[in-house]
């Protein structure tokens, strides 16, 4: 009996079965399990879908975080650019991927705006995606040419009201963030402007300096050197407090105008991505944001944040409701994807 038992325990067939079982167990641990999908995550490269062209601010900022995620989690977080279709190309690609945490998406402020403007859009930001984290906010400055005879925002409003439709307001494209910032200003003050849409906001700078257009909202980074060089003037910041780099430029709120807004960068994942994976990535982002070397890579207009998924979702819903109201009032719309 003992010899038989000994033979059964150590037979080649039994040893092979043990090896197979051990291999399966090791693979399961590496890939995570149904009980804990985050165990061992990530065990292979993660695709960071970017629904913009390379070189855009979403690329430049997202790449900083993606690089640090690669370091902290031990697997490459690879930028995958899919521009076009007012973000629709990248977003529809992402939502068709398996929701296992190996496809994540960098999104900007337009993520909350475009589904409202594009009525037949191919994705729904609430139904099709889970919010992971808001990571950065950038405030803007309302800038005017030096030739405009006003000294502050209140004087500008009076000047514009006396000339309805004569103020040319430059934007980086119809339906973009600057366009909506202009609608916000109109709604808050009662002025009426004429929108001049460019292919990119940078193209508006020469026309503002020459006086062909009379106002543009510029994020702090690009605006700062031009204002300091005397090429344009800053009338109001869109944040809640002044920036130490331009202490003489007050906020719009200080001047009695409810014009407050920040463009932003955030991360989302396809719907049904396991919550434990989303929380793991968010936790890493929260650590990365505190790194001095990361903070140094962002400009003076940046406010790095580490929102939880729930906080990001609330922020997104609040913005969406705000845009819905403005879009309904203005009647603007874009063609579908």
CB atoms within 10 A of CB 200: 10
The pLDDT, as a whole number, for residue 126 is 85
Size of the chain, expressed as the number of residues it contains: 337
169 phi, psi to nearest 5 deg: -110, 115
Asked if pLDDT for residue 134 goes beyond 90, the answer is yes
Please tell me the distance from the alpha carbon of residue 104 to that of residue 97, in angstroms, as a whole number: 10
* In the chain, domain spans: 46-137+262-330, 139-237
Domains 46-137+262-330 and 139-237 share a fold: yes
Number of helices (H), then strands (E), in the chain: 12, 10
- Considering the chain, what percentage of its residues have pLDDT values greater than 70? 87
Q: How far is CA 78 from CA 66, 67, 120, 208, in A?
A: 7, 8, 30, 38
Which whole number is the average pLDDT over 187-208? Answer: 93
Please tell me the distance from the alpha carbon of residue 86 to that of residue 111, in angstroms, as a whole number: 10
Asked if pLDDT for residue 24 goes beyond 70, the answer is no
> Which fold is adopted by the domain 139-237?
D-Maltodextrin-Binding Protein; domain 2 (3.40.190)
Question: Coil, strand or helix: which one is 294?
Answer: helix
Which whole number is the average pLDDT over 245-257? Answer: 94
The pLDDT, as a whole number, for residue 114 is 75
Which whole number is the average pLDDT over 328-333? Answer: 77
Report whether 93 contacts 50 (CB < 8 A): no
> Which fold is adopted by the domain 46-137+262-330?
D-Maltodextrin-Binding Protein; domain 2 (3.40.190)
Q: With CA atoms as reference, report the closest residue to 125 among 108, 101, 100, 143.
A: 108
Q: pLDDT (tens digit, 9 = 90+) per residue, 31-55?
A: 444 567 778 899 999 999 999 889 8
Report whether 65 contacts 72 (CB < 8 A): no
What's the mean per-residue pLDDT of the chain?
Answer: 86
Maximum mean pLDDT: which of 38-52, 111-125, 293-307, 323-337: 38-52
């Amino acid at each position: 009996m003992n010899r038989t038992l000994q033979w059964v325990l150590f037979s080649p067939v039994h040893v092979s079965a043990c090896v197979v079982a051990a291999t399966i167990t090791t693979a399961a641990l590496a890939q995570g399990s149904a009980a804990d999908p985050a165990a061992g995550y990530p065990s292979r490269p993660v695709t960071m879908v970017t629904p913009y062209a390379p070189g855009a601010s979403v690329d430049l900022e997202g790449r900083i975080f993606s690089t640090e995620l690669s370091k902290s989690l031990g697997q490459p977080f690879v930028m995958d650019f899919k521009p076009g279709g007012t973000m629709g190309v990248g977003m529809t690609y992402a939502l068709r991927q398996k929701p296992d945490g190996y496809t994540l998406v960098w999104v900007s402020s337009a993520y909350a705006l475009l589904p409202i403007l594009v009525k037949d859009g191919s994705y729904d930001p609430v139904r099709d995606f889970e919010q992971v984290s808001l990571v950065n906010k950038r405030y803007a400055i309302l800038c005017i040419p030096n030739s405009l005879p006003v000294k502050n925002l209140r004087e500008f409003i009076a000047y514009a009201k006396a000339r309805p439709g004569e103020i040319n307001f430059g934007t980086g494209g119809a339906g973009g963030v600057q366009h909506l910032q202009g609608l916000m200003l109109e709604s808050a003050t009662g002025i009426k402007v004429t929108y001049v849409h460019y292919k990119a906001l940078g193209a508006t700078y020469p026309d503002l300096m020459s006086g062909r257009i009379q106002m543009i909202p510029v994020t702090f980074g690009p605006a700062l050197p031009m204002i300091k060089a005397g090429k344009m003037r800053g009338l109001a910041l869109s944040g809640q407090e002044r920036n130490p780099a331009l202490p003489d430029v007050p906020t719009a709120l200080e001047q009695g105008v409810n014009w407050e807004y920040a463009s932003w960068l955030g991360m989302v994942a396809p719907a049904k991505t396991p919550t434990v994976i989303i929380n793991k990535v968010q936790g890493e982002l929260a650590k990365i944001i505190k790194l001095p070397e990361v903070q140094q890579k962002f400009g003076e207009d940046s406010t790095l944040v580490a929102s939880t998924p729930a906080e990001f979702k609330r922020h997104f819903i609040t913005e969406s409701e705000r845009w819905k109201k403005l879009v309904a009032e203005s009647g603007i719309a874009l063609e579908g994807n």
